[in-house]
C-alpha cells in the first residue's frame, strides 16, 4: 500500500509523482498486489475519469472533526488500484502544495489514511510511505493507541527530498491521535515535531532514491545529518527507474516525429527542426536545454549569467531553450535575455508536459547544474531520447552519468554549481557537437542503457521480504 502526496498523471510536482505513478505498476507486473492512496486534488484527471465510492469515515485531528471519503478509479487505467481521499476544506484544492494550512491538510490526510486501513478485513503486508507528507504514519502506526489492530504492519519510508521536512511546533502535537508519550522523542528534532525525522526513526526500513544520495544525507540533509548517521543500519539507497512505456521515443504520443534508436540521428533532427521553428532558433547550432524548476536547488540562478558568458566568451555557437517556473527573480532575468537573442535563445515560463517531451527528443544536450538531486529523472529521460546530459556530480546524477572523457562514458560532468563550471561544460558540448562520429558513439551508448523500473521494483520487493 503506497501512500503519497503525488502520483503521475493524477497530480505531480516533481520526481515523487513519477515514482509513485510507476513503481506500483512494475510491482504488479512482478506478481504482487500494489495499491496507491493520495489526496483528491481538483485536477483534470479527477474530472476526466469515472470513480466509485469505496469508503466513508469520520475522524478527528485534535478538536477538529471531519468526514472523509475514499474513491477508486474504475478503469484501472494506471495498471494498479488508485484511491483518492477527499476531506472537505482541506484536500479539495487545485494545487498540491503552497497553502498556509499545508500542515493541517497532510496531518489530516495521514490520520484518515490509517483510519481507513485499520477498517480493512485483511491488512496490507507492507505500508510504503513517501516523503514528509506521510512521514508521521510510521510513528502513528506504532505509537497511537487507536491503531493497535494494525501496529504489526511493516513500514518502508522513502525519502525523495530531505530538504523539506514537515516541521511543526509542539503546540500542534494535539493534532495526533492519543499516543504513548514515553516515546515522544521519536517525533522530536531540535525542539519541534519533524515529520521526516519521525519517519526515519519509526519506519522499519528507510530508502533514498539513489545510493549516492544516501551517503550525501550524512553530510547534507538540512540539519538531519547526525540522524542519518545514527540510523544507517536500516537505510538503503535504491536508484529510481523510469517508466519506459511513458518515456519511449518510438511510441511517445507527445511527439510529432517518433523514432527508433537506430534512427535516432534523423528522428532527433526532425524534432529539433520543429522546436527551432516554434522558438525561433537556428537549426545548425547545437541545442542545449534546461527543463525543471527555476530554484536554487536546481542551480537555476546561474543560468542567466552563464548564458551571457557563453555568448560573450565562446561565441554565439549554440542555442539555449529553457522550460520551467519558480523564483520570480530568475524568471524575470531569463525573460529579459530574450532581448539579446539572435535566433539562439528562448524561454518558456511554466509547466508544459508535451513541450518537455519534445525538448528531450529534439535537443542535443540537457543541462542539470543541480545543487541537490537525490536521484534525478530528467537525465534518464534525456538519455532514453538520445540527448546527452550535462550534469553536476551530485546525488543520483553521479550514479547515472559517466563523462565521455572516461572509459565507456556518454555524458558531460562538472563539479561545482558555478557559472565558470557550467560554461566550461557548454564549451565542451559545442566542441563535441562538431565531432559527429563521437556524438553518435555517445548517443548509441546512452540509448542502450536500461534505467527501467524492473530492477528497482525487484530491489523494493526484496526489502519488503526482509521485514515480513
Can you give the pTM of this predicted structure?
0.90
Residue % of the chain over a pLDDT of 70: 100
- Are the beta carbons of 269 and 383 closer than 8 angstroms? no
Helix (H) or strand (E) holding 17: helix 15-29
What pLDDT digit, counting tens, does each position of 373-431 carry?
A: 999 999 999 999 999 999 999 999 999 999 999 999 999 999 999 999 999 999 999 99
- Within 10 Å of residue 413's Cβ, how many Cβ atoms? 21
Angle between helices 436-447 and 264-279 (to 10 degrees): 100
The predicted model gives 126-144 an average pLDDT of: 98
Whole-angstrom CA distances from 240 to 16, 56, 218, 259, 455 are 10, 34, 20, 25, 9
* Domains within the chain, CATH numbers bracketed: 2-241+453-466 (3.40.50.2000), 261-447 (3.40.50.2000)
Q: How many residues does the chain have?
A: 468
Exposed / middle / buried, residue 7 (Cβ in 10 Å: 0-12, 13-18, 19+): buried
The predicted model gives 70-97 an average pLDDT of: 96
What pLDDT digit, counting tens, does each position of 191-213 carry?
A: 999 999 999 999 999 999 999 99
- Are the beta carbons of 59 and 49 closer than 8 angstroms? no
Which residue reads 522523542 in cell numbers? Answer: 185
- Please provide the DSSP assignment of 363-416 as one string: -SEEEE--S--SS-SHHHHHHHTTPEEEEES-HHHHHH--BTTSTT--BEEESS
The predicted model gives 444-464 an average pLDDT of: 95
Q: State the cell numbers at 219.
A: 553530510
The predicted model gives 71-92 an average pLDDT of: 97
Residue 15 in this model has a pLDDT that exceeds 90: no
The CA-based angle 268-12-298, given to 5 degrees, is 65
pLDDT of 166:
97
pLDDT of 243:
87
In this structure, the strands spanning 2-3 and 412-414 are unpaired
CA dist 447 and 260 (Å) reads 10
Residue 14 in this model has a pLDDT that exceeds 90: no
319-346 in b/e form (b: 16+ CB < 10 A) is bbbbbbbbeeebbebbeebeeebeebbb
CA dist 369 and 358 (Å) reads 21
Q: State the cell numbers at 450.
A: 536500461
Whole-angstrom CA distances from 311 to 190, 308, 426 are 47, 5, 11
Q: State the cell numbers at 234.
A: 536500516
CA dist 101 and 93 (Å) reads 12
Amino acid at each position: 500500500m503506497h501512500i503519497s502526496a503525488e502520483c503521475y498523471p493524477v497530480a505531480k510536482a516533481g520526481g515523487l509523482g513519477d515514482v509513485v505513478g510507476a513503481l506500483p505498476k512494475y510491482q504488479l507486473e512482478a506478481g504482487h498486489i500494489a495499491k496507491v492512496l493520495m489526496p483528491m486534488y481538483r485536477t483534470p484527471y479527477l474530472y476526466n475519469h469515472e470513480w466509485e465510492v469505496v469508503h466513508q469515515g469520520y475522524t478527528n485531528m485534535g478538536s477538529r472533526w471531519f468526514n472523509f471519503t475514499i474513491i477508486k478509479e474504475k478503469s484501472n487505467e494506471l495498471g494498479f488500484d488508485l484511491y483518492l481521499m477527499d476531506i472537505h476544506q482541506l484536500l479539495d484544492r487545485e494545487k498540491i502544495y503552497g497553502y498556509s494550512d499545508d500542515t493541517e491538510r497532510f496531518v489530516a490526510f495521514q490520520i484518515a489514511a490509517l483510519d481507513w486501513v485499520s477498517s480493512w478485513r485483511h491488512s496490507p503486508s507492507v505500508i510504503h510511505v513517501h516523503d514528509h507528507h506521510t512521514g508521521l504514519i510510521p510513528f502513528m502506526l506504532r505509537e497511537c493507541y487507536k491503531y493497535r489492530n494494525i501496529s504489526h504492519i511493516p513500514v518502508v519510508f522513502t525519502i525523495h527530498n530531505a530538504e523539506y521536512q514537515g516541521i511543526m511546533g509542539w503546540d500542534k502535537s494535539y493534532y495526533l491521535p492519543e499516543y504513548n508519550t514515553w516515546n515522544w522523542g521519536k517525533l522530536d528534532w531540535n525542539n519541534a515535531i519533524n515529520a521526516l525525522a519521525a519517519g526515519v526513526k519509526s519506519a522499519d526500513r528507510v530508502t533514498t532514491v539513489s545510493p549516492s544520495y544516501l551517503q550525501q544525507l550524512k553530510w547534507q540533509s538540512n540539519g538531519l545529518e547526525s540522524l542519518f548517521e545514527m540510523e544507517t543500519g536500516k537505510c538503503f539507497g535504491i536508484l529510481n527507474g523510469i517508466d519506459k512505456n511513458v518515456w519511449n521515443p518510438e511510441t511517445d504520443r507527445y511527439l510529432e516525429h517518433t523514432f527508433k534508436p537506430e534512427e535516432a540521428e534523423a528522428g532527433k533532427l526532425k524534432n529539433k527542426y520543429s522546436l527551432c521553428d516554434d522558438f525561433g532558433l537556428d537549426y545548425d547550432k547545437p541545442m542545449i536545454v534546461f527543463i525543471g524548476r527555476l530554484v536554487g536547488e536546481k542551480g537555476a540562478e546561474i543560468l542567466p549569467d552563464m548564458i551571457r558568458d557563453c555568448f560573450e566568451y565562446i561565441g554565439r555557437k549554440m542555442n539555449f531553450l529553457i522550460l520551467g517556473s519558480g523564483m520570480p527573480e530568475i524568471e524575470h532575468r531569463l525573460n529579459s535575455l530574450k532581448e539579446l537573442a539572435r535566433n539562439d535563445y528562448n524561454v518558456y515560463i511554466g509547466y508544459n508536459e508535451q513541450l518537455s517531451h519534445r525538448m528531450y527528443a529534439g535537443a542535443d544536450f540537457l543541462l542539470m547544474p543541480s545543487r541537490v538531486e537525490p536521484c534525478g529523472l530528467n537525465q534518464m529521460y534525456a538519455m532514453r531520447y538520445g540527448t546527452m546530459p550535462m550534469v553536476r556530480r551530485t546525488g543520483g546524477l553521479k550514479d547515472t552519468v559517466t563523462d565521455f572523457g572516461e572509459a565507456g562514458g556518454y555524458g558531460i560532468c562538472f563539479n561545482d554549481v558555478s557559472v565558470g563550471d557550467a560554461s566550461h561544460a557548454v564549451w565542451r558540448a559545442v566542441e563535441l557537437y562538431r565531432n559527429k562520429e563521437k556524438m553518435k558513439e555517445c548517443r548509441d551508448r546512452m540509448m542502450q542503457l536500461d534505467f527501467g523500473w524492473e530492477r528497482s521494483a525487484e530491489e523494493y520487493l526484496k526489502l519488503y521480504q526482509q521485514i515480513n
